[in-house]
Structure 1
Amino acid sequence: MRTQTINRLAASVATSVFCVGAAVADGHVDRTGWPESFTVGTASQGGTYFAYGSGWANLVADELGISGGGEVTGGPMQNMALVHTGDAAFGMTTMGPAAESIAGTNPIAPGLPMTNACAMFPMYQTPFSVTALSSSGITSISEIPAGARIGFGPAGSTSDTYFPRMMETLGVDFERRNGGWSDLGGQLQDGLLDVIAFAAGVPVPAVSQLEVQTDVNIIEFTEEEQATILDAFPVSEFEIGADVYTTLEAPARSVSMWNFAIANCDLPASFVNAVVDVVMSDNERMVNIHRAAASTLPENWDKNNGVLPWHPGAAQWFIENAGADIPADQIHGN
């Protein structure tokens, strides 16, 4: 029954989407209703969202011949709001903020269910990691001193939303600081912060830059700390590979949250299908934009886990190209 439903959906969406990958290349795709330009909501400069998002925005703009680019934002929570209202065509979010936004608990607009932001494609996992200067002597979470000044990223970001709660759960006493990743990295180096707590795809540009300029400690969670966080938050086990940072001599134990690209649900199906095709059809090209894109693979479509409604154009692509088993009631408009 589900296969029949999906086949009917595929047939209906296909009326407006003509094997877009080939058609775009030939210039024959129906571009009715396509915008003349688009923006992708990312996050602050110096973070993975900005590098990754600006990269795929430029790639899509070049491939489809439409003006577009990344826009600096406050991160996943604000991106959900911008895409929901249509102020940004596309954005990027993590599953935690996405679920909160759909439930109407996004702090940007409390009580407003942001149901007009649709899933477009899986990006990568966001690991939660802690960095301190080697000169601080901090080598573990338990060694973070009481009252430590911790930078958690931009206000409202995934990091700022969840990392303070994680630290409190682990018994850390701290002063909360916010700012862009590049700024926080500079403040750590200047001694204005004791620790920075990143939730961002690895390698985080700001951490890579710090490694070049000074000695840092990339602090992993103990097995017990990891288990505590897994029990309390919507995250998964994760290891930061030893090859990600020159500082690491072995994999670092962490936790992570999946990220998805999102689209305003009212965008034409043919347009979103074409964008997804550009991003998902050549992973090597995406990895050249950012190494975190190694996980930007068609088979990861299921990491949405029913949190976000699928955009019909995106659902069509994954059904046809990844054998995605997306229930019709999880696709916007059905």
Structure 2
Amino acid sequence: MHFKAIKRLTTVCAATALTAGAAVAETQVDKTGWPESFTVGTGSQGGTYFGYGSGWAGIVSDALGVSGGAEVTGGPMQNMALVHTGDLPFGMTTMGPAAESIAGSNPIAPGLQMTNACAMFPMYQTPFSVTALSASGISSVADIPDGARIGFGPAGSTSDTYFPRMMEELGVNFERRNGGWSDLGSQLQDGLLDVIAFAAGVPVPAVSQLEAQVAVNIIEFTEDEQAKITAAFPVAPFDISADSYTTLEAPARSVSMWNFAIANCDLPETFVYGVVDAVMSDNERMVNTHRAARSTLPQYWDRNTVMAWHPGAARWFNENAGADIADGMIHGN
């Protein structure tokens, strides 16, 4: 749905917004202004965003009776832009790109403060991890050769935004490459890349596919490397669990950044409330769509520290998750 269409819908329901307030009752929902269908901005095929986004779009579609699906995009930065303008009603982003977009530092539209993309629900943490073919002999960051060809994911993605900076922080000299995760995995296997540096929820489908075909090294950070990165970037220490990949025999030391689903702030409150309820009320069903959803839990609402909340989402978490989202953090207040 485009921005103008959303604004038209908002105008229709504006007169009843104040009296509707909490529009969801036990037996009846006010569906004034609801769209006939919706699309979720995700990321590249082969990446976690596309699989995860397709999963929750299907769950919401079934629960609300509104046709929905996922769309391939450039990832978190582009999703912030598309949702802010209303070109897409929903998307997914990470805290770093969200903060940069709100500040007007999104490279897609420099200077534009993307404040009309609202937080909807917590998804999962995105670990940053490095993968190389075992045959390359690269088993640590220090082993990465000078001028290595490193694939950082789609241009503008969380990975592409932060991983090159992290590598520079660790003293790695590299040649930067971009592309979808599936393509980069194939290039690594074909010897066209030396390393792929992922920022994606685990297990990353492209890595799982890669390790099923060839021996790989999933490279962890040393304690010193981890400390250096967490001091310089908006990330936290994280261990990739050993059961994420058959290649791992023990947890791999990493860092991570939280992901959130986002909604255009002008979408009807009752619609977004219903979306959040469908996703957050049945974690087992979410996990069945993607294992990264093990962290898609109500108690992680407070991991959003930069975006205003959509009123419908804030109401759901305040009513159902014991949240205390301040009025100043809710869009329109």
* Matched position secondary structure for 1:213: coil
Which moves more between the two structures, 317-326 or 54-63? 54-63
Letter in 2 for 1:111: G
Q: Map of 1:73-84 to 2, 5 A cutoff?
A: 73-84=73-84
Give the counterpart of 1:15 among 20, 23, 34.
Answer: 20
Structure 2 alignment gaps of length 5 or more: 1-16
- The residue number in structure 1 matching 2:322 is 323
Letter in 2 for 1:17: A
Q: Distance in 1 between matches of 2:38 and 2:89?
A: 6
- The residue number in structure 1 matching 2:141 is 141
Q: Map of 1:55-204 to 2, 5 A cutoff?
A: 55-204=55-204
* Matched position secondary structure for 2:242: coil
Offset from partner CA, 1:60-109 (integer Å, 9 cap, x none): 11221111100000000000000000000000000000000000000000
Letter in 2 for 1:104: G
* Matched position secondary structure for 2:234: coil
Aligned residues: 317
Q: Distance in 2 between matches of 1:199 and 1:86?
A: 26
Q: CA deviation at 1:59?
A: 1.3
- The residue number in structure 1 matching 2:289 is 289
Q: CA deviation at 1:16?
A: 3.7
Give the TM-score normalised by the residue count of structure 1: 0.93
Mapped contact 1:16–1:30 kept (Cα < 8 A): no
Letter in 2 for 1:96: G
Give the TM-score normalised by the residue count of structure 2: 0.94
- The residue number in structure 2 matching 1:312 is 311
Q: Distance in 1 between matches of 2:165 and 2:225?
A: 13
Mapped contact 1:125–1:256 kept (Cα < 8 A): yes
Instruction: Return closer, same or farther for 1:249/1:13 CA change in 2, 3 Å cut-off.
Output: farther
- The residue number in structure 1 matching 2:7 is none
Offset from partner CA, 1:217-263 (integer Å, 9 cap, x none): 00000000000001100000100001110000000000000000000
Q: CA deviation at 1:13?
A: 7.6
* Runs of 4 or more consecutive aligned structure 1 residues displaced over 4 Å after TM superposition: none
Q: CA deviation at 1:210?
A: 0.6
Q: Distance in 2 between matches of 1:84 and 1:245?
A: 36
Q: Distance in 1 between matches of 2:19 and 2:254?
A: 42
Q: Distance in 2 between matches of 1:295 and 1:277?
A: 16
* Matched position secondary structure for 2:257: strand
* Matched position secondary structure for 2:249: coil
Instruction: Return closer, same or farther for 1:234/1:103 CA change in 2, 3 Å cut-off.
Output: same
Offset from partner CA, 1:131-161 (integer Å, 9 cap, x none): 0000000000000000100000000000000
Q: Distance in 1 between matches of 2:216 and 2:316?
A: 43
Identity over aligned pairs, percent? 79
Q: Distance in 2 between matches of 1:200 and 1:16?
A: 37
**CA RMSD for the aligned pairs?**
1.1
Q: Distance in 1 between matches of 2:190 and 2:62?
A: 40
Mapped contact 1:45–1:72 kept (Cα < 8 A): yes
